[in-house]
């Protein structure tokens, strides 16, 4: 095994270990939210973002969570079904829905730990711009090589039932 192969193996191990640490933290956070609050990690992340910014539209919430609109819509629908999120017509435009956390949702948020997704987003945003762009390009290249493109990414560890996602309105 030459030095090039050894270096490649070392780099690959370092990358995989970093991914493992991130995935483990996200998974543990999601399990803790499910155990203590009865929410998936994705639901907790969305609920916390809405609690911080009441009155968001679905598109604004998707932007705030760095998530595709259809993915966040499915999570919001489940939160609304449980009475944790309220959808109301905007005062200035009745066609636009505003999302707010209900009183029960606020009680859950008050006793919830920070969602690991929020820590991940914060860490990514704290990277210098050039490193953030390089990471985005590298991860995009990796998903392309793995032939994972063309599918809408879902929220991390959203363990809720995904049946009937098509046409779900938020």
Residue 27 located in a structural domain: yes
Residue 159 located in a structural domain: no
Lowest mean pLDDT among 21-30, 51-60, 153-162: 153-162
Q: Which residues pair with 97 in a beta bridge?
A: 89
pLDDT of residue 110: 94
Residue 143 located in a structural domain: no
Between 163 and 111, the higher pLDDT residue: 111
**CA–CA distances in Å: residue 63 to residues 57, 60, 71, 105, 121:** 10, 5, 11, 21, 12
pLDDT tens string 58-77: 999 999 999 999 999 999 99
User: Which CATH number is 61's domain given?
Assistant: 1.10.10.10
Total domains in the fold of the chain: 1
Residue 119 located in a structural domain: no
| Model pTM score | 0.82
Residue 37 located in a structural domain: yes
Residue 85 located in a structural domain: yes
Q: Which domain range does residue 21 map to? A: 9-113
Residue 157 located in a structural domain: no
Helix axes 3-37, 41-52, angle to 10 degrees: 70
Span 89-116, average pLDDT: 91
Residue 103 located in a structural domain: yes
């Amino acid at each position: 095994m030459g030095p090039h192969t050894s270096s490649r193996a070392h780099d690959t191990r370092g990358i995989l270990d970093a991914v493992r640490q991130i995935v483990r933290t996200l998974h543990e956070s999601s399990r803790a939210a499910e155990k203590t609050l009865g929410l998936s990690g994705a639901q907790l992340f969305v609920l916390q973002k809405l609690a911080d910014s009441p009155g968001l539209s679905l598109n604004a919430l998707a932007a705030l969570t760095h998530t595709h609109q259809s993915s966040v819509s499915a999570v919001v629908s489940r939160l609304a079904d449980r009475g944790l999120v309220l959808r109301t017509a905007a005062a200035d435009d009745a066609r636009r829905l505003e999302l707010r956390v209900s009183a029960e949702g606020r009680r859950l948020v008050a006793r919830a730990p920070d969602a690991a997704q929020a820590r991940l987003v914060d860490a990514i945003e704290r990277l210098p711009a050039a490193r953030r762009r390089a990471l985005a390009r590298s991860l995009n290249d990796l998903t392309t090589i793995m032939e994972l493109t063309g599918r809408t990414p879902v929220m991390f560890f959203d363990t809720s039932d995904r049946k009937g996602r098509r046409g779900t309105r938020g």
